[in-house]
Chain A
Amino acid sequence: MALAVGVMTAGCLPAIYKGHMTRAADEWSIEVRAISDSIGAVQISGEPTYAVPPDGYRWIWVFMNVRNTAAAPRTFGYDSCELPLDSATVLPSFAGSVMSLFDDRKESYRPGEESYRRVIFAYPKGRYPATFRCGNMLFEIPRS
């Protein structure tokens, strides 16, 4: 699965969005590279277990580069990322690198460090989020 994800992120992944959207705020910079809902199961790190979304939901994957532009090391919490859903906010069910997931949903970044990361949300089938936000960085998701 990890290998499959690696191949898909390389460019052959059917996507809601694919391209380069960059936003910066609070000395963080995030570049969204792809948003996809075409991967049906999430492999739990190190376990032969795949998480499937709840009934009526599907996974929405956001692939992005996260960069700490501050001069000091800082922690980024992936719970800062969210998708809107009516009056609610959907937070990631999973976050991690392409190869593994982070149990504690946060990661330390050295000054200037950038990492390619994925956050995975459960979102109702047939619904598409208009925006994706991490902290004060707001991305409007173009509809093709």
Chain B
Amino acid sequence: MGCAVSAASLSLLAAGVARAEPVRTLPAASPPAAAGAADAYAADAFMIIHLGKHLDVIDEKGSSWRPVRGLVYRIALTPPEFLEAVGRPDLAGHERSRHRTARTLSIVGDIVAPIGLFATLLGLGVSGGKGALVGLGAIVGGVVMHEVGESMLNPSLPESEALRLADAYNNALRARLGLPPLDAPQMPSPKKEVRTLAFGFAALPSPNGGVAVLGARF
């Protein structure tokens, strides 16, 4: 809307110019178009959020990533949604399959462990120990399955590859919108916060309390 307001202002200015110099009305239309392209880019570009211990260490051990769409109003996506949007349905399918497996392991582990606990308690009273051993095995197995499943919830695709895919998509998007490539020198943007975000880094702790940092590269 900020750009829309700017565009409206420019349109009014153009109308004023048009009254004084009617033949020059067409060139005045291009700034609003450029602003519209910049808005479209800010709304559709991808950012990759780095979840790790350091701001600028991509692919660090134990780190993860997640994608968002939009540079100012950021909408979280799942990794498969991102991968499909950037034209890699094969990778999206792999991530979905991995996520299903992870969920299945986690849930089955959640079911098996309490059954093991029940079997252990029952076995202690009835069979004098054998049943309890089976139950203990089920507890351990259930916990292991759950933990393995939880550990597989992060995407398997390396963050560096996700960044490369996002960069490629964003550069193609800029080209489609008629915007200059990000590496090229650009005129100062009227919406400074968009540029700042596009080139900035961000920090985010992980939900489990471990230090995690988040960054976006453009």
Contact = CB atoms under 8 A, between A and B. Distances in A.
A53 B205 CA distance: 7
Interface in A1-54: 25-27, 44, 51-54
B200 A77 contact: no
Interface string A67-107: 00000000111011010010111111110000000001110
B49 interface: yes
Nearest to A93: B205
A52 B214 CA distance: 18
B201 A88 contact: yes
17 contacts: A25-B1, A26-B1, A26-B2, A51-B208, A51-B209, A54-B205, A54-B210, A77-B75, A80-B72, A85-B203, A87-B201, A88-B201, A91-B49, A91-B214, A105-B76, A133-B193, A135-B72
A140 interface: no
A122 interface: yes
B133 to A, nearest CB: 29
A136 interface: yes
Interface string B174-207: 0000000000000000000100010011111111
B193 A136 contact: yes
A139 to B, nearest CB: 13
Contacts of A87: 200-201
A117 B212 CA distance: 24
Nearest to A42: B207
Contact of B202 (A53, A90, A105, A136): A90
Given A44-B207, A54-B210, A55-B211, A135 B73 contact: yes
A53 to B, nearest CB: 6
A47 B78 CA distance: 22
Given A77-B68, A89-B200, A136 B2 contact: yes
Nearest to B216: A89
Contacts of A90: 202-204
B203 A88 contact: yes
A133 B202 CA distance: 13
A85 B204 CA distance: 11
B202 A88 contact: yes
Count class of interface residues, chain B:
20 to 34
Nearest to A134: B73
Interface core residue of B1, B70, B205, B211 (most chain A CB under 10 Å):
B205
A91 B76 contact: no
A135 B74 CA distance: 8
Given A79-B68, A88-B55, A93 B74 contact: no
Given A54-B206, A79-B49, 4 more contacts: A54-B212, A57-B211, A91-B49, A93-B206
Contacts of B207: 44, 51, 93-94
Contacts of A136: 1-2, 72, 193
9 closest cross-chain pairs (CB), A and B: A122-B205, A26-B1, A54-B211, A77-B75, A79-B74, A89-B202, A105-B76, A52-B209, A88-B201
Contacts of A91: 49, 74, 202-204, 214
Given A51-B208, A77-B68, A88-B55, A26 B73 contact: yes
A87 B197 CA distance: 11
Contact of B74 (A25, A55, A80, A122): A80
B205 A79 contact: no
